[in-house]
Amino acid sequence: MESVFDEHELAVIRRAFAKQILAVSRIEADARLEDAIAAVPRERFLGAPPWQVSRAPRGYETLPSHDPAIIYQDVLFALLSQRGVNNGSPSLHARWLHALSLREGERVAHIGTGSGYYTAIMAHLVGSRGHVVAVEFDPALAAHARTNLADRSNVTVIEGDGAEWPREAVDAVYVNFSVERPADTWIEHLRTRGRLVFPLGVPRPKPSPWGGNALHGAGLCVTRESDGLSVRWLGPAFFVCAEGRLSPAGAEREALQAAFERGGIEFVRSLIWKENAAPGRCWFTGSGWALSYDEVPA
């Protein structure tokens, strides 16, 4: 890839991009996240040009330019266009990573790493004393991520089913595909004050021109408090749907879809996990879990 800009000028473009993304995401002050976005060359994680941009609902459009400078805009670039797998929205991920609030030295599980771009940003945030376990189900994407992240000693890339990771206690779990319920291991391996960010969603009945993305979806940030699991709504989110153990249609799909269609997920305040939920106080109740309007006790 050749650019009319030299490396110093591309670094300036990346810094401007980082500032723009935080601004459009309405993040007033997060210097560490800005530095992380500015430090990671997005072009490394998109494969060779020509690059394709998602223009949903029309599908994908091929960009004529091969200059890496064009990558620094708030758009979705295809990783596997035939399946609707993209290098996700920078502004959405900026909001979610801001909510995840990673600190130096923390251990993170990135579930659905794709080609590794957002993994690299998280690796920058946790620093050399921290560690990111990056899990990818698709063998080709996992191989790309392993190559792309080979120079980051604080990242381990695993080809596997995201429902089976992490396998040890972590400070944060960051999930990049839509699920109908959180996996047990995401909840049960969170340390106290640990955070889980994931997209809850219901798949479309038929694949769309832009892949198997969710019909209804929302981002949730779950925090393990001393007396329960608090929840914060992060806004709508229409990710590609899970593969592997989390992909089969569950018995609760119709009830979850009905809950989305009724609305009100933005008022959810807690996740009830393997306990009885108060009748009439839940946005959704599933088998062994529920999303409740009640606050976690202080």
Structural domain includes residue 2:
no
DSSP string, 205-255: SS-BTTBSBEEEEEEEEEEEETTEEEEEEEEE--PBBP-GGG-SPPTTHHH
Structural domain includes residue 298:
no
What separation in angstroms does the CA of 197 have from each of 17, 60, 136, 179, 246?
Answer: 24, 28, 17, 12, 16
Measured distance between the N- and C-terminal CA atoms of the chain, rounded to whole angstroms: 54
- pLDDT tens for residues 242-289? 989 988 777 899 999 999 999 999 999 999 999 999 889 999 999 999
SS3 of residue 149 by DSSP: coil
Strand order in the sheet with 170-175: 155-159, 131-136, 107-111, 170-175, 190-203, 214-225, 228-236, 270-273, 289-292, 282-285
Structural domain includes residue 1:
no
Structural domain includes residue 297:
no
- pLDDT tens for residues 129-180? 999 999 999 999 999 999 999 999 999 999 999 999 999 999 999 999 999 9
Domain housing 83: 7-292
- Report the CATH number that the domain containing residue 36 is assigned in CATH: 3.40.50.150
Structural domain count of the chain: 1
- pLDDT tens for residues 207-226? 555 455 777 899 999 999 99
pLDDT of residue 109: 98
pTM score: 0.95
Question: Rounded CA gap, 72 and 1, in Å?
Answer: 15
